[in-house]
Structure 1
Amino acid sequence: MKVKDFNFELPDKLIAQEPIEPRDESRLMVINREKKEIEGRIFKEVIDYFEAGDTLVRNNTKVIPARLFGYKEKTGGKVEFLLLNQVELDRWETLVKANGKVKVGTRVVFGNGELVAEVKAKTDFGGRVVEFEYTGVFEEILDKLGNMPLPPYITKELEETDKYQTVYAKKRGAAAAPTAGLHFTDQLLDEIKTKGVNIVDITLHVGLGTFRPVKVDDIEDHDMHSEYYEVSQKAAEMINQTKEQGKKVISVGTTSTRTLETVANEDGTVKAEKGWTDIFIYPGYKFKAVDALITNFHLPQSTLLMLISAFASQELALKAYRQAVAEEYRFYSFGDGMLIL
């Protein structure tokens, strides 16, 4: 299967630069897989498609100020880090931009020396493993020196960084937001609970695996980067109870979907587990746990669009995307939402 088969024309003007306020007033495209029908709604009306006993599964990861600007200790050359994964206590996988090479052994200083990183190894994706030195609490230093890692296609500075967090963000560790969840407000979530829908939190710390571009011609040749996930016993029990009762498991976002499918058994039940996943979902994949999916509109030729195409069918997904372009839906992180039933 070719990557080019997931291409579509996307005008730059459709790339959302800031979120809609209030969050749940964005547009919602609803796709019915069985009837092959597409309709337009407002996101807060997503509740109309939920029933008592259904379970909404959301990713409670929280974006950290993962972008750091520093300089080489010896030469003063500028260096930019994007923290991806915490592999040990003070060791992180990072993406690096710099004037010149950043070799193993290079020391990078941030702020007034409150934080220093030494490059320990190169990674197979072109990044670096670094070890930080500091005095005090790392999270507090990062909050002081770090910047919110907004995607490169968002060129407008975000005045309120909380707008790039879900209202239920809890567990720090992500390098990017699980953006399908940005549409939910506290009020909408309360209404969903009142309707009798269960809400379950799982965690996947969004990293390179989610937004790494596909640079191969054949999909099967693409390697996903691992991301850390957690599914609690309580969450697994609720999801399995939902399955037993014949109700829907509704996944909020591709990150929740990848996590659920990672821990799913063949019968659709899931197990409590924590670890690292590099699951890559594309057409031909048989979904086991997820019955409905809430997502955003994604990049052409991206792994996210491939996952959507696996869930909705490639033909229906691309038809919906062409319609979204024609009707000027807003794309990407701050864009409009999609519900696939």
Structure 2
Amino acid sequence: MSNKFKTLCFVLLVAIISAVMINLNTGFLDLNIQDFLSKSINNQIAEIRINRVLVMLLAGISIPTSGFLMQEYFQNPLAGPDILGITSVASLSVAFYIFFSQHLILPEFLQNSFLSLSSVAGSVMLMLVLLSVSNKFQDQSYLIIFGFLISALAGAIVSLLQFYAENQSLKNYILWSFGANNMVSGNQIGILSVLVLFGLVMSFKSIKPLIGNSLGTSYAQSLGVNLQRLKLLIIVASSILSASITAFLGPILFIGIIVPHFCRLIYNPAKLWQQWILNMFLGMLIMISFSIIAEKTQIPLNVISSVFGIPVILVMLLKQNKV
């Protein structure tokens, strides 16, 4: 590893730790160390803040990794779980679950499990469709248009479900769609951690084949890269990482696109192992920072990510058009 990469990682790690400390002390009440370490009056508030930080760290690892894998596989810097419609379809799956399971009496653990499974199932199905359709498009930019159409269709179906939904179901869906990171419980974080860990293992297995794939299909096959296995790894890893976060935090838009973009700007884009690590570090820093802004302004998390991400994507499009 180069000195530049080590320096970048160190700076990001220090920034992440600083942001975590600020996040833990952001809220209506000022807490001290005893509130986090012992059963004090404010211990429950401290626990909520710890859960908030943990889920933001998991989101910061998962969403950029999902976007990074898809961008490297499709060789398109605009590929991401939200642009390609994966987040929208995962949201649609969650909407179906929320609206049609209202009268089911299930333990919290099973409710959380079914919520995450419905989100992952929807995203996996769309990823399979995207991979089959991508082979038919000579221009990969058409894939972005296809993803946009899928997002629009999913949004229309969600609107239809909201129109006919009961009041309580509609309220639950709206609260979920705002990205309320303060509402994530310890049990949900446990399920989310397992899903993220599984997705990261699949990501780890896909990096080396991706390096060969980036040099061209023929060259990759000459190196012994199993392209079908690589496709499966990308489907599983990207879908699980993006959909699991969507299931518990709502649609966090554009982070899967802009974080890989920033990482390529600050370090050699050809070194995929280092790029993956930088994506996770920078993703954690950005998500923790967004969480601090959300707590101080009371603006929903997905609104903040959109306001931050849309200008960056517009600049990327203008730069590509100039080239």
TM interval, shorter chain, is: under 0.3
TM-score by length of 1: 0.24
Pick 1 or 2: higher relative contact order, CA cutoff 8 A, min separation 6.
2
Specify which structure has the higher proportion of helix. Answer: 2
TM-score by length of 2: 0.25
Specify which structure has the higher proportion of strand. Answer: 1
